[in-house]
Structure 1
Amino acid sequence: MGTGIPNKRQKLAKWNGWGYKDTDFTMDEKKDVYVTGDRYVLSGKCIPDFRPWFENFTGLDTRYASPAQSWPEMQQKIHKPVICKSFVDELKQANCFKYLSFDDEVRLMHSHGHCCQEIYQLRYGKFKRLVDVVIYPDSHDHVEKIVSIATKYPEQLTIIPYGGGTNVTQALLCPENEKRMIVSIDTQEMDRILSVDFESNTAVIEAGAIGTQEEVDRQQKIIYDITSKYGGLKAGAEAGSRGYLLTYVIAYLRDYGFNYYFMAESFETSVPWSNIVPMIKKVEERVKESAKKKGVPSVPWVSARVTQTYETGACVYFYYGFIFRGLSDPIKVFSEIESEARDEILLQGGSLSHHHGIGKLRREWMNEVVRDQGVDILKGLKQKIDPHNLFGNGNMGLTQADLSISANIE
């Protein structure tokens, strides 16, 4: 037990953008773009055609830079933690955590996900409410003890569980109206494989476990043995590697765009086959029409791709972004256009989400999608399981959680 900070995430991850600190799309003096670091296939390589391609599709102009604020500038905007001393003292006495931190950077990193609105605020603004303490248990027993102690103080604290921190539904944003101490429980120290059932091909693995290369190799051998037994062929890892690369490259590209007044986001839906093409067309039209009405200085970039297929339909990812230079409240405009895109998706037979979930970003459509009766059922379950709203982050609109239209942003 200690009050130090586990350095896995803080040492490796950016505090104000996507991914690893050593990985970025960067432009050199010749205006060629290359990828820093050595983690990906593209790392260390120059991409000479990237800049003109990106500028052509998005309208980005590298003559106009929009650098992010520094950490000292952000740190000055971080409020002091609200502390329930009795709870903290009892935790220490029970010896039920590995680390506990009130560090400013740790608190900030546990108070947001990776929506465009959240990254914008990290770069240029501040969050009105942050978690007050981050607790790192290293066992299931620790978690049970932490929650058990917390139930003694329902009027003085609330809990927000924390996983990888990369959600894109504003699920981690702290309600602005929350006066209680906000406790973040980070499971990254719970990294053990507890049991393996080889006959059933199942395992019990703690929430913070990260697969090793040895485990990947072992699983690959098992799969190849099975395919060989039944006459299957090795397709190779190329397709999977390209898909993995595309997913992560897109995420890093957003930070590059932000450097030059371009903001962007992706969002997904599931839709029947017959609706895919009409839906994509209508959403693109709706986004461009809305942007024009709201005074966006250039035509938005809108794109879509099918990522998963099923017998009756598919998952469709949309990518949308625009130049925000000159807008007085870029994130408000961005959020309103994104909401109109979601309205159009639902109008065209798409779902509220395929796999990202609801969080706070999509809570306004809950009554439309599952109706009042469905929301009442969910609220009833919440009340029965958590009568004191100990887990009170307000996701899905089941409890009050005030956020401004600019997504907790000033």
Structure 2
Amino acid sequence: MKGNRYSLSGKRLDGLLPFIESEMMVKVDISKEAFLDRCDFSEASSQPIDVDLLGKASSFVSISVAERIRHGTGHCQEDIYAIRSGEALRIPDAVAWPINEDHLCEIVSLAKAHLWCVIPFGGGTNVSQATRCPPIQVEPRPIISVDMTQMNRILWVSEENGLAHVEAGITGRALVEEMNRRGFTIGHEPDSYEFSTLGGWIATKASGMKRNKYGNIEDIVRGVRVVGANGVLAHGYKGANGCGREAGSFDITSLIIGSEGCLGVIGSAVIRIWRLPKKKDFGSVLFPDFEHGIRFTKNVSELGRMIPASCRLLDNEHFRLGHALRPESESIIDTAKRAITSFIASISFSLDPKKVVCATILYEGSSEEVNNQKKAIGRLSRMHGGVQVGASIGRAGYELTFMIAYLRDFAMSYHFLGESFETFVPWSGLLALITATKERILKEHKARDLPGKPFVGCRVTQLYHEGVCLYFYFCMSFKNVASASAVFTEIEHAAREEILEHGGLLSHHHGVGKVRSSFLQAINSPALQEAALLTKHAFDPENIFAARNGAYAS
């Protein structure tokens, strides 16, 4: 991996290619890349739009094809494959960059007056096709992509109240760095935080890796200002931000969280902030198999105030992938054996490379809190047959999360499609759901006579009293496969069916977008679906915000 952004940057990863070939039973020819003969991107037909008029309400407007493609796609495999293969897509007719709330209001007013549609755009990291334009047969009106990234200011910080008012276009990286400079943390760190935006987190109901300590985005956001079809939607006496718990109020914040750009454009939000933790450290634990690891994470979820900021469990497939990405020559299992023998002179200990799993831990808090967290993790590790293998492996596992997307996009060049999809699963059905979903993917792959075998792994990422957030990763070779992305999507769809059949939820934090919207008919009762549509009509009677995500897909 080039550059210097991550710990693996600039290092040889000699184990990766042999792992892929062995795991997926295919031969990789690095001299033959996919998409070399791709066709040129074909634009969908556009309706006329007054660019000069739009430019008066924005800091900048672009109608370049490159900008419009970027703003008409996100980062799911279908989006990347479509761009690289030259698939014809409907793209926005123009991209506008507002710099303040007044600009936003002007853009929405113009859209209302001239029968344009508006789709908000943040960091472009969504994996649900949320920023894709509806087909022209469904939505014939011109579509404006409103890029929020120029609205990136921190408007005020109240140290005494532990609050900050921030414009929605700021990226997670910029927000973290600025708050750290002031001595605070925002507590929210999704995998995409380097590029995703505050507004995107709110719109998709995001969750971060440190949820155990700081909560999800709905716990962090205390108030929003949204530009809707009829003006600014906000709550507060004489313009003040109403940011405390208030009984009897119409709660605009809870309606906007998870609305996926269909009720308005989020202009800014008041968020909670915390003093920077005095101490931060990593840890890692190996367990002989996944069942031992699950029992460990269940007990970790019950630690209350002593729970670490993050505790994630990788299954054996993920563990072996992580091992293949280690630039060091010594194996993680060898590290585990050395960790044991440093305490006990002679011991018979066996970790089967085909069964062993790994939990990575992030500790944050005061010195006393971190020490107590470590003691609790040590006690639970021993109780469940685990071996603590140190901070370096924990740190590497935590950082690997930020690199997965690069690995996926690199692999696409050599005829591999991969994607992650998440769900929430109750503890009672966790192991059965994992087994059934993996088996369903293998069955669907075999039924289509696809090359080699798929890679299917999973990891537990967020812990709750009643269950966990569970990620699946699915990768397949598409060499000589016709309509490869559509085939991949069919198998992924089947996997989601299996998840729902076994008690999993449609989405934990990626949102529904267009990718998962077809499942809502089986999930929402008719009365609930009607209520959602009536709410949409009340907020946006002319359907200016026409992304058609989630419950508003039809």
TM tier, smaller: 0.7 to 0.9
CA distance in 2, matches of 1:215, 1:338: 38
1:163 maps to what in 2?
122
After superposition, the C-alpha distances for 1:185-213 in whole angstroms (9 at most, x for unaligned) are 00111111001121221111111222263
CA distance in 2, matches of 1:393, 1:191: 23
CA distance in 2, matches of 1:214, 1:206: 13
CA distance in 2, matches of 1:302, 1:228: 35
- Whether contact under 8 Å (1:120, 1:331) holds in the other structure is yes
- Whether contact under 8 Å (2:54, 2:61) holds in the other structure is no
2:49 maps to what in 1?
84
Q: When the two structures are aligned, how many residues end up with a matched partner? A: 358
CA distance in 2, matches of 1:315, 1:208: 27
- Whether contact under 8 Å (1:364, 1:397) holds in the other structure is no
1:40 maps to what in 2?
6
Cα distance, 1:89–1:240 mapped onto 2, change above 3 Å: farther
Gaps of 5+ in 1: 1-34, 401-410
CA distance in 2, matches of 1:90, 1:237: 56
1:192 is aligned, of 153, 156, 160, to: 153
Where do residues 36-75 of structure 1 align in structure 2 (5 Å cutoff)? 36-63=2-29, 65-69=32-36, 74-75=40-41
CA distance in 2, matches of 1:199, 1:230: 23
2:542 is aligned, of 376, 388, 406, to: 388
Deviation, 1:243, is 5.0
Q: Indicate yes or no: 2:517 matched with 1:363.
A: yes
2:275 maps to what in 1?
222
What's the secondary structure of 1:319's corresponding residue?
Answer: strand
1:232 maps to what in 2?
369
CA distance in 2, matches of 1:69, 1:80: 26
* Counterpart amino acid of residue 66 in structure 1: E
CA distance in 1, matches of 2:124, 2:548: 17
1:248 is aligned, of 399, 402, 416, to: 402
CA distance in 2, matches of 1:229, 1:330: 51
What TM-score do you get using the length of structure 2 for normalisation?
Answer: 0.61
CA distance in 1, matches of 2:277, 2:439: 46
What's the secondary structure of 1:159's corresponding residue?
Answer: strand
What's the secondary structure of 1:211's corresponding residue?
Answer: helix
* Counterpart amino acid of residue 151 in structure 1: K
- Whether contact under 8 Å (2:63, 2:94) holds in the other structure is yes
CA distance in 2, matches of 1:389, 1:396: 14
CA distance in 2, matches of 1:164, 1:249: 17
What's the secondary structure of 1:255's corresponding residue?
Answer: helix
After superposition, the C-alpha distances for 1:18-67 in whole angstroms (9 at most, x for unaligned) are xxxxxxxxxxxxxxxxx111211111111122221222223342226333
Cα distance, 1:289–1:225 mapped onto 2, change above 3 Å: closer
1:30 maps to what in 2?
none
CA distance in 2, matches of 1:343, 1:228: 40
CA distance in 2, matches of 1:335, 1:196: 44
- Whether contact under 8 Å (2:532, 2:551) holds in the other structure is no
CA distance in 1, matches of 2:5, 2:128: 27
- Whether contact under 8 Å (1:269, 1:351) holds in the other structure is yes
- Whether contact under 8 Å (2:180, 2:276) holds in the other structure is no
Where do residues 105-120 of structure 1 align in structure 2 (5 Å cutoff)? 105-120=66-81
Q: Indicate yes or no: 2:442 matched with 1:295.
A: no
2:175 maps to what in 1?
211
What's the secondary structure of 2:74's corresponding residue?
Answer: coil
Deviation, 1:173, is 1.4
Where do residues 247-396 of structure 1 align in structure 2 (5 Å cutoff)? 247-396=401-550
CA distance in 2, matches of 1:96, 1:322: 46
384-393 or 159-168: bigger deviation:
384-393
- Whether contact under 8 Å (1:69, 1:123) holds in the other structure is no
- Whether contact under 8 Å (1:134, 1:185) holds in the other structure is yes
Cα distance, 1:146–1:237 mapped onto 2, change above 3 Å: farther
What is the root-mean-square deviation of aligned Cα atoms in Å? Answer: 2.5
* Counterpart amino acid of residue 61 in structure 2: L
What's the secondary structure of 1:388's corresponding residue?
Answer: coil
Cα distance, 1:338–1:48 mapped onto 2, change above 3 Å: same
Quote the sequence identity (%): 36
Cα distance, 1:89–1:191 mapped onto 2, change above 3 Å: same
* Counterpart amino acid of residue 120 in structure 1: Y
Q: Which has the larger radius of gyration?
A: 2
* Counterpart amino acid of residue 160 in structure 1: I
* Counterpart amino acid of residue 219 in structure 1: F
2:294 maps to what in 1?
none
CA distance in 2, matches of 1:304, 1:395: 27
- Whether contact under 8 Å (1:359, 1:395) holds in the other structure is yes
What's the secondary structure of 1:119's corresponding residue?
Answer: helix
After superposition, the C-alpha distances for 1:280-328 in whole angstroms (9 at most, x for unaligned) are 0000111111111122122211111100111110000000111111222
Deviation, 1:228, is 7.7
What's the secondary structure of 2:368's corresponding residue?
Answer: coil
After superposition, the C-alpha distances for 1:145-185 in whole angstroms (9 at most, x for unaligned) are 1111211122xx21110011010111111111222111000
